[in-house]
Amino acid sequence: MDGSVVVLGSCSVCHVFAAAELPVKGETVIGSDYHIVVGGKGSGQGIVACRLGSDVHMLQRLGNDSYGREQKELYAKMGMSTEFVYLDDTAPTGSGGIFLDAHGQNQIIIVPGANGKVSRQDVDQLKPVLRKAKLLGAQLEVPVETVDYAIRLAHQTGVRTLLDPAPAAPLPKDLYPCISIIKPNECEAGELTGISVEDAESAFRAGEWLLEQGVKEAAVITLGEQGAVLVTREARQYVPGIQVPVVDTGGAGDTFAGGLLAALSRDWPLEKAVRYAQCASALCVTRNGSYALTRRDEVDGLFCRVYGEAAI
């Protein structure tokens, strides 16, 4: 296994409804498919990082219900540490409704459930593991104050941090200098910075704004099929999207983040890590299914074919 990664984040049982076109307000449409997948940004990113070789410790709250118990068992079967995956008796496992059209575009509603119960006290229990970790990955589907506390704690102990600020929410100004790498998509970058992000050039400006707030290393802004940009204090780099047949865009951003965590846990330089994450995300959109379908050999193979570089 590669370096130790702590993932603080959510888990949601997602009910997926597919139809040729999504309904507009007041409209009912007949769907073509329905299935259940277990998602949530923390869960997805942790599973992808694990499938791509990282030693993952998850900090999470699930409901003490059938969904929660099954998910904790799944983590353990994958080889993830579940010591800090708690089954909560006061709230159900988080849930979501995903509405998917024939073009692979989606709309999502999330109900937090037990995700909203993740606390500073839970983070305190994790301290011995966090101090030894290579990376902390976090998102904003659990309480922002808990994420804030965890990032500051990691910063104080010298642990690198990756924040995926989704769903976008205002961040305390003095938190930015504790974030090593921030990874919003174009919508989230726009909400955080006030800059309308539509292409690489506007993404560069948004990334520079984030660095001006104090982000330590880099801003990585994903642009969907257009690719991603990497902004550091030394350079601005555009990584084009990889052209693949799109089946379902759901999970692409979390797969990107999980791939980025995995690559960084191998001590790869940022540009190489972003390209690797792009490959993981590209493969994700070519199929329906769970994050557990991520395969290291497939991602490594695509990385070698696209970039002519071994994934070692």
CA 41 and chain centroid, separation: 5
Instruction: Give strand pairing partners of 56.
Output: 5
Determine how many CB atoms are found less than 10 A away from the CB of residue 85. Answer: 21
Please name the residue that has the structure tokens 């769970």.
Answer: 290
* Catalytic, out of 254, 267, 297, 300: 254
Q: Which of 147, 153, 204 is nearest to 170 (CA)?
A: 147
Instruction: Kindly provide the residue ranges of all beta strands, DSSP E only, lying in the chain, ordered along the sequence.
Output: 2-8, 12-18, 33-39, 54-63, 81-88, 94-100, 106-111, 135-138, 160-163, 181-182, 218-222, 227-231, 236-240
Cβ distance 79 to 42 under 8 Å? Answer: no
Cβ distance 88 to 62 under 8 Å? Answer: yes
> Would you call 174 a catalytic residue per the annotation?
no
Report the distance separating Cα 138 and Cα 272, nearest Å: 21
Catalytic residue positions? 254
